[in-house]
Amino acid sequence: MSQPDIILIGAGGHAHACIDVIEQQGQFKIAGLVGLPSELHNHHLGYSVIAMDDDLPQLQKEYCYAFITLGQILSPNSRIRLYQQAVQLGFQLPVIIAPTAYVSPHASLGSGTLIMHGAIVNAGATVGNNCIINNLSLVEHDATVENHCHISTGAILNGGVKIGMGSFIGSGSVIKEGVVIGAGSVVGMGLAVRHDLIDHSIFRGTGN
C-alpha cells in the first residue's frame, strides 16, 4: 500500500522523537520539515527542512497531511497557533499511535495527537486535539486530557484525572486520581500532585 506524504511542522528536538514514531508506525512518508528561516535546509535524521511557516499555504496545494512536531513546555501557544493555521489551510492532521503504545478501544483521541512509544491510554480516557502523550506515560481509565496538552515522558495521570487545555505535565510526575489541573498549567518534573490546581498554575512542589 502506498504511503501518503506528510509534512512535519517544527524542526527542533521533539521532531526527532516524532520522526521515530512516524517511521515505526509506517502509515506516512515524511516529505520534509517546516522550520524557522535559520533552520532552512538543515537535516534531521535524514529529512530536510524544506520550507518555513510562511510557505504553508503553498505546501497545502501539494500535500494533504501535516503534523505539529514542535515541542511544548512552558507555553502551548506556538503549537496552538501552528495547529490552527494548519487546520484552517485545509491540512488533515492524523492521530499517530506508536506500535509500542496501547490505546484502549474504549478511549478516544483527537486529531493531530501523538501517542508515543510505550504510552498507555486506558479505557474511558479522552485525549483532545494536538496533544503529545510522550514515551512511557500513562493516561489511566476515564482521565481527560483537553486539547493542546503535553503529558511528558513517564508521567502518570491516574483514574479520572482532568488536565485542562494547553497544560504541561512534567516528566515522571504523578497526578492523584480525580484531581483537576486547570487550563494553561505547568507541573514540573518528578512531582506528586494531590490536589486540584487552578488555571495557569505553575507547580514546582513544596514552597510553590
Ligand X SMILES: CC(C)(COP(=O)(O)OP(=O)(O)OC[C@H]1O[C@@H](n2cnc3c(N)ncnc32)[C@H](O)[C@@H]1OP(=O)(O)O)[C@@H](O)C(=O)NCCC(=O)NCCS
Which of 48, 160, 171, 177 touches ligand X by CB under 6 A? 171
DSSP state of 92: B
Pattern 13-52, binding to ligand X, x per CB under 6 A? ----------------------------------------
Which of 186, 193, 197, 201 touches ligand X by CB under 6 A? 186
Which of 35, 69, 188, 193 touches ligand X by CB under 6 A? 188
Of 41, 36, 39, 3, give the one whose Cα is nearest residue 22: 3
Per-residue buried b or exposed e for 63-76, using 16+ beta carbons within 10 Å of the residue's own CB: bebbbbbbbbeeeb
Q: Which residue is nearest to ligand X (CB)?
A: 188
Q: How many residues bind ligand X (CB under 6 A)?
A: 14
Cβ within 8 Å of residue 202, ≥6 positions away: 185, 186, 188, 208
Q: Which residues are catalytic?
A: 141
Determine contact, residues 207/191, Cβ cutoff 8 Å: no
Q: How far apart are CA 89 and CA 97, in angstroms?
A: 24
The answer to the question of residue 112 lying near ligand X (CB under 6 A) is no
The answer to the question of residue 126 lying near ligand X (CB under 6 A) is no
Contacts with ligand X by CB under 6 A lie at: 73-74, 134, 152-153, 170-171, 186, 188-191, 204-205
